[in-house]
Amino acid sequence: MGTAIFMVLMVCGYWYTSRDLSTRFQFKRTSGWDVYFLVALNGCIFVLQGILATAILWLLLLLTSMTMNEFPQWFGPEDHRYHMTFMNWSFLGIQAPVVIMLAFAILFCLYRSNWARSARLDSAGRRELYKHLSRANGVEGLLYQCMEQGELAWVTMKSQRIYIGMIHTATFDREDANNIVLIPMLSGYRDHQTLDLRVEHNYSAWYERHNITLTSKPRTALDFRKVILLDQIESLSLFEPSQTLSFAMRDERDKAPQR
């Protein structure tokens, strides 16, 4: 019986932890023994809910038995003891209350993981969740700010490649494939000697010349998106539009003929 309770506890905890959106983010940020304790904690919650539901069921049977015994003219003169029958009944060698308790725990887990309102967040609910979770992480907070306010991000790669653009989406729940999706506006590289930005591609000017926007047809700016793995990024920062002018002036100065 103890093995059955432990198995249901751990399975329910893992099922909920890996499917509930907010808990899944917490699960992906946890390592070592903390993972087992997080799974066990969620499993214990469902088992306790199952115990409470079973106790309520036993109480209802007790009240039913007492009511029937109070009115023998309606329910017969025999002694009704449904609550005791419930406690003594067994299924496959396991007492009925334990079986019912485990069934309740599984049902509560399935409900919270698949059918509850928190498991079916709309876009506004997801934004609020990301906003709450990103407060504890500087990178996620910066990316959320870019997505929420439409600000441009400066992304420096480990290869010294630089992208400046809009953050479309970000994924943090897969340890080996965390990434950001960026709509580029400028791209270039850092000069190895001066570390200045050398602009190679001006996507924003190209978008403007070809009337490409986020909603244009047949092509949109999303067709030029870049998927960048987080482990390939060296630094992230907000991009000030005023910097574009300084880059342009610097490029023009470099291209000007020397006298």
The string of pLDDT tens digits covering residues 75-120 is 777 777 777 777 777 666 667 788 888 889 989 888 887 766 555 5
User: Alpha carbon of 163 to those of 206, 238, 259: distances in Å?
Assistant: 15, 12, 34
Answer with the residue of higher pLDDT: 117 or 188: 188
Together in a domain, 145 and 104: no
Together in a domain, 104 and 128: no
Global pTM exceeds 0.75: no
Together in a domain, 66 and 147: no
Q: Quick count: other Cβ atoms within 10 Å of Cβ 90?
A: 11
Structural contact between residues 188 and 197, judged by C-beta atoms closer than 8 angstroms: yes
**Which structural domain, as residue segments, surrounds residue 243?**
124-255
Together in a domain, 130 and 234: yes
The last residue of a domain, from among 53, 88, 119? 119
Torsion of CA 105, 111, 113, 114, to 10 degrees: 150
Number of domains the chain is built from: 2
User: Alpha carbon of 234 to those of 89, 125, 200, 228, 237: distances in Å?
Assistant: 64, 31, 20, 11, 11
Extract the tokens encoding 2: 């103890």
Q: Which residue has the tokens 């190209």?
A: 206
Distance CA 52, CA 101 (A): 8
The last residue of a domain, from among 95, 119, 143? 119
Confidence of residue 29 (pLDDT cuts 50, 70, 90): low
> Average model confidence (pLDDT) for the chain?
78
Together in a domain, 114 and 197: no
DSSP 174: -
Half-sphere exposure in the Cβ direction for 247 (13 Å, CA): 21
Together in a domain, 110 and 157: no
Per-residue pLDDT, 239: 84
CATH of the domain at 207: 2.30.30.100
**Tens-digit pLDDT profile for residues 115-157:** 665 555 555 666 666 666 666 667 777 887 787 788 889 998 8
Per-residue pLDDT, 245: 47
Together in a domain, 50 and 106: yes
The last residue of a domain, from among 92, 119, 146? 119
Half-sphere exposure in the Cβ direction for 42 (13 Å, CA): 27
Together in a domain, 129 and 230: yes
Together in a domain, 48 and 147: no
Together in a domain, 21 and 107: yes
Together in a domain, 11 and 106: yes
Tell me which of 137-141, 162-166, 178-182 is least confident.
137-141
**Tens-digit pLDDT profile for residues 236-256:** 888 876 655 455 445 545 554
Together in a domain, 6 and 112: yes
